[in-house]
Amino acid sequence: MTFQDLLAFAERHLYLSLALVGLTLAILYTEIARLFRGYKALRPAELTGLMNRENALVIDLSASSDFEKGHIAGSKSVQPSQFDPESKLLANARELPVVVVCRNGQGSGDAAKRLKKAGFKNVYWLDGGIGAWQAADLPLVKGRA
C-alpha cells in the first residue's frame, strides 16, 4: 500500500478517516496525561511487593459492608466521603508509599490525585481494585481491620 492509496482511501471515506484521527489524538492525550499525573498504577503483585518491602499504607475506600466482606490484610478502611489527606491516619505518611484501593479501581484514582496535590511523595492506586486482587488469587481478610 502506497501513500497515494492511503490518501485515496481518506478522500473516499472522510468520516472513517476523521474518526481514526480523533481516536488517535484521544489515545495520545490519555497516555501523555497518565505520564504526568504524579501517581502510579499498581498490579496486585506489585502491591504485595510494595507492602512487604516498604511498609506501604493501604487505604481502602470501599463501603463498610464491602470492606468487612473482604479486604487486603493490613489495609485501613476510610469512607470516600470522609477521605481527607490531612486526616490523622495520613498525617505521618507523607514520605511513605500510600496506596489507595477501591472495589473496581475507578474511585481510587481521584483519591490518589488528591493525595498527590496535598504533597504526598509516593502515591499509588491499585489498578482494577479488589476485583483485580481477587482475580490474581490473592487472599482477602474478612471483618473489621
> Does 21 share its domain with 50?
no
Q: Tens digit of pLDDT for each residue in 97-126?
A: 999 999 988 888 889 989 988 889 899 999
Helices (H), the chain: 3-12, 14-36, 44-54, 64-69, 88-91, 107-117, 129-135
Instruction: Please check whether residues 28 and 52 belong to one and the same domain.
Output: no
Amino acid sitting at position 144: R
Q: Do 126 and 62 share a domain, yes or no?
A: yes
Residues 28 and 49 in one domain: no
Task: Tell me which residue range forms the domain holding 22.
Answer: 3-35
Beta carbons within 8 Å of 112's beta carbon, 6+ residues apart: 39, 100, 123, 124, 125
Displacement of CA 88 from its chain's centroid (Å): 23
In this structure, what CATH number is given to the domain that contains residue 73? 3.40.250.10
Whether pLDDT at 80 is above 90 = no
Helix axes 3-12, 14-36, angle to 10 degrees: 110
The reply to whether 55 and 124 lie within a common domain is yes
Structural domains counted in the chain: 2
In a domain, 15, yes or no: yes
pTM of the shown model: 0.75
